Structure 1
Amino acid sequence: MENYVWLFATAGGAAILGLALAYGLSTQRRLSRTEKEQQDNKVEDLYGKR
């Protein structure tokens, strides 16, 4: 019985982590063209041009 508890804890933890990662990746949205340009401009202002 003790082995099943560890199996559930290990497999269950990995499954929960996998589901959380899948959810996070599926709900992430891409930046629009305007947002991407604004982000690039801010980064250039912060770090300077190359």
Structure 2
Amino acid sequence: MNIPLYDIREAMKAMDKNVEYISVCQTGRRAAAAAFVMTQHGFLVVTLNYNPMFEL
């Protein structure tokens, strides 16, 4: 599912806390913010960051 950071608080109402979520964005800043908000509400979240040093 793709949820904009602006909508994450509303979307969490319908999300399962027993599922591990991956938060991702182009720079990693919004992903970190979303993960922070979600973990504060009891969700298990990991962030996936793009690192151009590992580009193939």
TM-score normalized with structure 2 length: 0.27
Higher helix share: 1
Higher relative contact order (CA 8 A, sep 6+): 2
Higher strand fraction (1 or 2): 2
- Between structure 1 and structure 2, the one with the greater Rg is 1
* TM-score, with length taken from structure 1: 0.30
